[in-house]
């Protein structure tokens, strides 16, 4: 696929925590690939996804705790596979689930998920994916009907099928994620996942026992009413993609629709929240 990209080079001080927060925020703003170096981060975004105000919501750039400068230029296509192979290490969650690439050794954990992410979000490295995996590992998914909204690489739907879910929809608005999820579903021999390209408007008339959505605060606030409409009585809603400070707003929205807050997980200021219908 021949695409033109913009390459942003950020110099970050102090680098350790700054890089981590910056990458997380850029990921949510639409940047697709990151290479860390000794000065900071180089981040890539497709020209078609770019808009002049792309950095407007990147809160760390306004923070007094970090000094961040940047530069950007247009570039020819990269060898993305080589980049991620260099940077992608297997991830193990709670000793039960490994997310790895095809070229890594087979693990001994109960669940083994093989992902070739290329540029999609969802390798288990991000806090939000990690916590959603933790939630899925703690929940009984046997014979459940599951929706994975904003599926990225498809990693969460794939785990849900491996845990026994029998009927799954995995939806992403982004064409690249849709195609990548299709590939990963096949790579993991999943037979019950239907991958769709689109958004919450595809959900009308569907019913699920478990809905997983790791997207971002604003999309979740807008789409929670649709999710609730699709949730069976007694069903579970697992949300992530936002910070601890956003919990009250998300909780209030869910409670408007009579969902009950059960618990939240937290990792580096990111959270994942569980509600019951």
Ligand X SMILES: C[S@@+](CC[C@H](N)C(=O)[O-])C[C@H]1O[C@@H](n2cnc3c(N)ncnc32)[C@H](O)[C@@H]1O
Q: Which residues bind ligand X (CB under 6 A)?
A: 121-122, 128-129, 132, 149-152, 155-156, 171-174, 177, 199, 214-215, 219, 241
- CA-wise closest residue to 271 among 239, 228, 235: 239
Q: Is 9 annotated as a binding residue?
A: no
> Please, what is the minimum distance in Å from the beta carbon of residue 134 to ligand X?
12
Smallest separation, CB 55 to ligand X (Å): 18
What is the spatial distance between Cα 16 and Cα 144, in angstroms, rounded to a whole number? 41
Q: Residue 12 or residue 151: which is nearer to ligand X going by CB?
A: 151
Nearer to ligand X, 15 or 247 (CB): 247
Cα-based distances in Å from 200 to 35, 50, 117, 220, 275 = 32, 23, 23, 10, 19
CB of 171 to ligand X, least distance (A): 6
Least distance from C-beta 193 to ligand X, angstroms?
A: 13
Report residue 232 CA to chain centroid gap: 24
Query: From the CB of 198, what's the least distance to ligand X, in Å?
Result: 7
Judge whether 120 and 152 are in contact, CB under 8 Å: yes
Nearest to ligand X of 12, 149 (CB atom): 149
Place of tokens 């409670």: 255
Spatial strand order of the sheet with 111-114 comes to 91-93, 97-100, 111-114
According to DSSP, residue 213 is labeled: E
Q: Which is nearer to ligand X, 172 or 246 (CB)?
A: 172
Q: What is the Cα 11 distance to its own chain's centre? A: 25
> Is 129 assigned a ligand-binding role in the annotation?
yes
Q: Which class for 148: exposed (0-12), middle (13-18), buried (19 or more C-beta within 10 A)?
A: buried
Query: Per the annotation, does 164 bind a ligand?
Result: no
- Comparison of 43 and 171: residue with beta carbon closer to ligand X: 171
Burial level of 223, CB count in 10 A (0-12/13-18/19+)?
buried
Angle at 268 between CA 263 and CA 270, to 5 degrees: 50
CB of 174 to ligand X, least distance (A): 4
Contact 36, 106 (CB under 8 A): no
In the complex, minimum distance from the CB of residue 160 to ligand X, in angstroms, rounded to a whole number: 11
Select 39 or 49, whichever has its Cβ closest to ligand X.
49
Output 98 or 128, the one with its CB closest to ligand X: 128
67-95: burial string, b at 16+ Cβ within 10 Å, e else: ebebebeeeeeeebeebbeeebebbebee
Which residues are part of a known binding site for S-adenosyl-L-methionine?
A: 129, 150, 172, 214
Which residues are part of a known binding site?
A: 129, 150, 172, 214
């Amino acid at each position: 696929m021949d695409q033109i990209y913009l390459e942003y080079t950020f110099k970050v001080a102090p680098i350790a925590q700054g890089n981590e927060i910056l990458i997380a925020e850029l990921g949510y703003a639409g940047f697709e690939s990151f290479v860390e170096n000794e000065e900071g981060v180089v981040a890539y975004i497709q020209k078609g996804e770019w808009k002049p105000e792309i950095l407007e919501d990147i809160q760390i750039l306004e923070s007094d705790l970090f000094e961040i400068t940047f530069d950007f230029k247009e570039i020819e296509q990269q060898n993305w596979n080589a980049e991620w192979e260099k940077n992608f290490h297997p991830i193990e969650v709670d000793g039960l689930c490994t997310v790895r690439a095809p070229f890594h050794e087979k693990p001994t954990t109960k669940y083994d998920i093989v992902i070739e992410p290329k540029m999609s979000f969802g390798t288990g490295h991000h806090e939000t994916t990690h916590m959603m995996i933790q939630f899925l590992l703690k929940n009984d998914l046997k014979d459940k009907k599951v929706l994975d909204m904003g599926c990225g690489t498809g990693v969460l739907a794939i785990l849900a099928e491996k845990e026994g879910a029998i009927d799954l929809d995995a939806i992403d608005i982004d064409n690249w994620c849709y195609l990548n999820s299709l590939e990963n579903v096949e790579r993991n021999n999943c037979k019950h996942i239907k991958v769709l390209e689109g958004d919450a408007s595809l959900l009308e008339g569907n019913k699920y026992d478990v809905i997983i959505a790791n997207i971002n605060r604003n999309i979740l606030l807008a789409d929670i009413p649709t999710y609730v409409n699709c949730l069976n009585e007694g069903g579970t809603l697992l949300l992530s993609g936002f910070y601890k400070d956003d919990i009250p707003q998300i909780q209030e929205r869910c409670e408007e629709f009579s969902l009950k807050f059960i618990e939240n997980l937290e990792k580096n200021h990111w959270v994942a929240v569980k509600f019951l219908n």
